Structure 1
Amino acid sequence: MNEIWQGRYDGDSPLYHRLFQKVIIAEDYQAIAPNDFVLHGFAVDEGVRRNKGRIGAKDAPDIIRKNMSNFPVVTPNFRLLDFGNIYCEDGNLEQSQANLAGKVSLALSSKAKSIVLGGGHEVTFAHYSGIRKAFPNQKIGVINIDAHFDNREPENHLSSSGTGFYQIAEEGEIHSLHIGIQRNSNTLKLFDDAHRLGMKYILSEGLFFENLPKIYEAINTLSEEVDILYLTICMDVFNAGIAPGVSAVAYNGIFADTPFLLFFKHILKNEKLLAMDVAEVNPKYDIANRTARLAASLVNEWFMI
């Protein structure tokens, strides 16, 4: 793992520190302290395969780590513990999801903040399950930045990268806000199910500067309804020009422009935010690590708050 966390060395003073100098390769969950960032990789794309997508996302976590390594550390008392990857080598996605959920629960029970690098977007149900395991009596709100609702009904009772929010809703009342939804990426059935399940959403065409007050209001309303916030980002929400390496390319996707960064940082500043993941980076189709670099940058924005 240490060979992955490499970067430019300018010195040992805190003024020079970069992430690779501060990351702790960890195995013992007893070493976690409150407010630590705890990182897991979900090196799995069995759910993408089941969802008939382009496989390859299982190779993303380590590549995202490499692209995180050189970012500067800008906050005092920063600690990042990396507990390695969860794999799915036998096709048993449900067991891999349960494995991640158990590890996330351990981290959150120690009052840390959870970060997961996917992998396919089947990571959503796994990450959510870990949060729920740690906080069984709390209301969990999910912000999903994604072109898709991911609320498909499982086929033959098998989960996939597209079933996460259906599974969450099956377990009780859902509290979710989906930002960046594309009309041409979701059938009428998926829109209908989103309305039936109470999934709130903002279409991608609504993500412009003048609409920021309404976006903030939607985020704040969700936050006020829940005890904990979890942010999940599917990289296929972004335009193919800046995120070509995904399972489902969006040629009319959104950009990481000023309006996006303003509402994104508004989410990151919320004190209820305890968990975040990025999903669907597919290195097999990436160009010059554009998608992996963007995913790494989004995670790093949380470190800088």
Structure 2
Amino acid sequence: MFQDTWQGRLDGEELLFHRIFQRVKEERNYDNIAADDFVLHGFAVDEGVRRNKGRQGAKDAPDVIRKNMSNFPVIRPDFSLLDFGNVTCEDGDLESSQNSLAKNVSKVLLKGGKSIVLGGGHEVTYAHYLGVKTAFPEQKIGIINIDAHFDNRQPENGVGASSGTGFWQIAQEGQINSLHIGIQRNSNTLKLFDTAHQYGMKYILADELFFENLPSIYERINELVESVDVLYLTICMDVFNASIAPGVSASAYNGIFADTPFMHLYRHILKSKKLIALDAAEVNPSLDIEDRTARLAACLMNEWFMI
């Protein structure tokens, strides 16, 4: 299965020819992680999307994103990527899946690795955050959420946590230090904006993401980064315009583009030495067109490899 997923064009075995599929290693022993290794888990789960009344299918995304990552050229000579496979969800037990991922992520971070998770629904956020918190319980954790939605809903009685409750759950554990980039006014009720204000969740609207505004955006990103000890970045693919990201549960006709201004601010975040965890959520292969969404998610993950 591993070899079937990681495939690409073979130009040669010398280092100058290498692509990611030639450097990734299947791994199961967390003791083999070295400092600064990139360490990958798939979160093959969309139970949270089901609970949130969304369109299911994101559980099939991790392997599709892997395939779209495989052929990228290796830029850094010291690049190392370890793949620990997928966390799945049995019998609708989302909480157990989240706890399993969190436990694995904490092992990665304690060994000095950099955590990458391929979702899955955006319920991955709470799991990934929990892994960071488990590893660094005394550290101040900053979260940047690139998303059209706040995902700060209070869980419904009888339903429990979902893909839309992650930031509400995090806020219940104490002060939350989050910046939400790409928020859409037509995708969040006044209640969700009010919840964001109540818990001090900072945000930048999608309408603010243009080139002339980059200095102000950098300032707001820097303000968060400078105030925390470690940084976790999560990307919900439904933040992007439906033309470049059709394969999501809730597509956005007026979503943002992965254009020059966005890539500038995105790389600005990736350059932070405090960044230790990154994930992409809500890729739904069953709704995708020619792997556009999966390919975009793969490209965004690959940007971190090149920094």
- Kindly provide the amino acid, as one letter, of the partner of residue 227 in structure 2: E
User: Which residue number in structure 2 is paired with residue 91 of structure 1?
Assistant: 92
2 CA distance for matches of 1:66 and 1:90?
Answer: 27
Alignment map for 1:10-49 (pairs within 5 Å): 10-49=11-50
- Kindly provide the amino acid, as one letter, of the partner of residue 253 in structure 2: Y
Q: CA deviation at 1:77?
A: 1.0
User: Which residue number in structure 1 is paired with residue 182 of structure 2?
Assistant: 180
User: Which residue number in structure 1 is paired with residue 67 of structure 2?
Assistant: 66
SS in 2 for 1:202: strand
Deviation string 1:153-179 (CA, Å, 9 cap, x unpaired) is 011271100000000000000000000
Structure 1 runs of 4+ aligned residues shifted over 2 Å read none
Deviation string 1:264-287 (CA, Å, 9 cap, x unpaired) is 000000000000000000000000
User: Which residue number in structure 1 is paired with residue 195 of structure 2?
Assistant: 193
- Kindly provide the amino acid, as one letter, of the partner of residue 182 in structure 1: Q
Q: CA deviation at 1:145?
A: 0.1
- Kindly provide the amino acid, as one letter, of the partner of residue 35 in structure 1: D
Q: CA deviation at 1:90?
A: 1.0
2:211 paired with 1:205:
no
2:161 paired with 1:159:
yes
2 CA distance for matches of 1:297 and 1:78?
Answer: 16
2:107 paired with 1:103:
no
1:267 to 266, 269, 281: 269
- Kindly provide the amino acid, as one letter, of the partner of residue 199 in structure 2: L
- Report if the CA contact (8 A) 1:178-1:202 is conserved: yes
1:256 to 251, 255, 258: 258
- Report if the CA contact (8 A) 1:2-1:25 is conserved: no
Superposed CA RMSD in Å reads 0.5
Q: CA deviation at 1:80?
A: 0.1
Alignment map for 1:241-252 (pairs within 5 Å): 241-252=243-254
User: Which residue number in structure 2 is paired with residue 80 of structure 1?
Assistant: 81
2 CA distance for matches of 1:268 and 1:153?
Answer: 30
- Kindly provide the amino acid, as one letter, of the partner of residue 71 in structure 1: F
1 CA distance for matches of 2:97 and 2:298?
Answer: 23
User: Which residue number in structure 2 is paired with residue 132 of structure 1?
Assistant: 133
- Kindly provide the amino acid, as one letter, of the partner of residue 160 in structure 1: S
2 CA distance for matches of 1:253 and 1:118?
Answer: 20
2 CA distance for matches of 1:268 and 1:60?
Answer: 23
1:299 to 276, 298, 301: 301
2 CA distance for matches of 1:247 and 1:2?
Answer: 29
- Further displaced range: 148-157 or 110-119: 148-157
- Kindly provide the amino acid, as one letter, of the partner of residue 146 in structure 2: I
2 CA distance for matches of 1:42 and 1:158?
Answer: 19
SS in 1 for 2:150: coil
Q: CA deviation at 1:207?
A: 0.1
1 CA distance for matches of 2:282 and 2:225?
Answer: 26
Q: CA deviation at 1:76?
A: 1.6
Runs of 5+ unmatched residues, structure 1: none
- Report if the CA contact (8 A) 1:106-1:134 is conserved: yes
Q: CA deviation at 1:89?
A: 2.3
1 CA distance for matches of 2:58 and 2:5?
Answer: 17
User: Which residue number in structure 2 is paired with residue 239 of structure 1?
Assistant: 241
- Kindly provide the amino acid, as one letter, of the partner of residue 21 in structure 1: Q
2 CA distance for matches of 1:74 and 1:190?
Answer: 41
1 CA distance for matches of 2:60 and 2:10?
Answer: 26
Number of matched residues? 305
